[in-house]
Structure 1
Amino acid sequence: MGTVWIDSLGFAAQEADIAAEDLLVADCLAAAARGDTSAYFDLGVAYSTGSHGVGCDLVEAHKWFNLAAVAGHEEAPACRAEVADEMTACEIAEAQRRAREWLCATTPKAA
C-alpha cells in the first residue's frame, strides 16, 4: 500500500507541475502580446529546449528569438543563430513568416 501512496502523490505533484508550466507559457504569451521583449526571449528558450510544458520546436524558437532580436534583446541574435544552425532554409522561412504574422496581429493599427 505504501507504494500506491507514493505513486499517487507523485502523480498529483506532476499534475501541479504541468499546470504551473502551462500558466508560465500563458503568462509569457500574454506579456509577448504586450510587446515584452523578455517574454519573447523566454518563449524562444522554452521552445528551443522543450521546457515549461512545450515540446521542442525550432521553428517556434526561431520565431520568438527573432522577435526578441528585432525588439533589441541583447542575447536573442546569438540564440536565433544557434537555432538556425539546426534548421533547414524552409524551416527558417516558416519561422520568419510566423514572426511577421505575430507582428501584424499584435501591432496596434492607426485609426
Structure 2
Amino acid sequence: MASSAKSAQFLMESRLTGASFESAQACFELGVAYSCGTGGVTIDLIEAHKWFNLAALGGSEEGQALRAEIAEEMTAREIAEAQRQARAWIAASQARAA
C-alpha cells in the first residue's frame, strides 16, 4: 500500500508542476486522476471538476466534456465549491506570476 501512496504522490506532484505553468494537459490529467482514482489517488469529484474546469479554460475540449460528465453526478453545492477552488487556483497562479 505504501507503494501506491508513493505513486499517487508522485503523480500529483508532477501534474501540479505542469498545472502551475498553466498546462491544459496537466490540468486534464489531474482531473482524470481525481475522477477515476488513477495511481491510487482518492476519487474526489470536486477536485476533478476543478481541474477539468482549468483544463477547459486552457482550451481542452476533453476537459470541457469530462467536466460536464462528472457535473451530472454532483450537487449544485459541490459544483459551486469546485468553481470557487478553480477561481482561487487562477488567482494564486496570477499572484505567483506577478
Same fold by TM-score greater than 0.5: yes
Q: Which has the larger radius of gyration?
A: 1
Percent identity over the alignment is: 51
How far has the Cα of 1:30 moved from its partner?
1.0
Aligned length, in residue pairs: 96
> Runs of 4+ in structure 1 displaced over 4 angstroms?
none
Identify the residue that residue 93 of structure 2 maps to in structure 1.
106
The equivalences for 1:1-111 within 5 A come to 14-107=1-94, 108-109=97-98
* RMSD of aligned Cα (Å): 1.2
Specify every segment of 5 or more residues in structure 1 that has no aligned partner in the other structure, as ranges: 1-13
Decide whether aligned partners of structure 1 residues 44 and 91 sit closer, same or farther in structure 2, where only a CA change above 3 A counts.
same
| Whole-angstrom distance in 1 between the partners of 2:4 and 2:46 | 25
User: Which structure is higher in helix share?
Assistant: 2
User: Normalising by structure 1, what TM-score?
Assistant: 0.80
Identify the residue that residue 11 of structure 1 maps to in structure 2.
none
Specify every segment of 5 or more residues in structure 2 that has no aligned partner in the other structure, as ranges: none
User: Normalising by structure 2, what TM-score?
Assistant: 0.90
| Whole-angstrom distance in 2 between the partners of 1:44 and 1:79 | 8
The higher relative CO (CA closer than 8 Å, separation ≥ 6) is in 2
